[in-house]
Structure 1
């Protein structure tokens, strides 16, 4: 179980956005501090929501306080306590933006967290400029709400140019 002292994201202040680059096989939600699970919205390209639920529980969180925007072309088969929006295809940035806006209403000012995992997967489906605009709009909304945002990618998946643009959107970059 992750504790506040172990999490590389524990010092993230409300209103902050971090670009989090992690090794392959790691899931960014496993690196979140305990308090993130009190009010968390995850935009995920991973369809295994039962695993996400187990991660939330193992970190001492309440799954019913975690929202998910499933971004996948595959069928999402989940009927647990996480609250989820309708799934959206990774190539449908307008749909992702709409689902984010709907779910973001539940992110509490000063306390909420937003995680966008697997930016590298989204980059495979859309042009860099369109992805950058989506990420920038999410980061702006999070800052306005005084929440916290983690933009995650697997090390080595995005090119230097893409990483630099995303880094410009974030307040800091953490490499695990």
Structure 2
């Protein structure tokens, strides 16, 4: 048993070394090894292609921008915490809610955009993914969801949508009935 354990440990060390060597060699050749979008497979692609497709996506959507060395996080934290304090002082939220929602700079990071290759499609387009689980406003988002979810669920029970056209029609009717109040 002792010998088997030593062999297993040695194999794991060798796998670790092998992976490091592969990463280094791929880096030298400007090749990216990335998990693919749908399948449990990996995709090898040229780094330049990833950069080009990323820039094309950002140019096309005009929604994202590279921040470079700019870091808006401290200002976002400061402004959000000030707004929460204003809500607390105006008694719109309780002290407990204020403490729960306040942002600790050690626990947050900016949301970021990354891509997974769609290896099953011609030309291997990229699927954009936004990672925002540690975004400064995530606690506020969860708080609002908890607050509004019961109302939404109650309202959603009253309606069924079978098509996009029907959805637009129901939204227009809801607007007529509720926006006048």
TM-score range, shorter chain: under 0.3
**Structure 1-normalised TM-score?**
0.21
Q: Which structure has the highest helix share of the two?
A: 2
> Which is greater in Rg?
2
Higher relative contact order (CA 8 A, sep 6+): 1
Relative to the length of structure 2, the TM-score reads 0.20
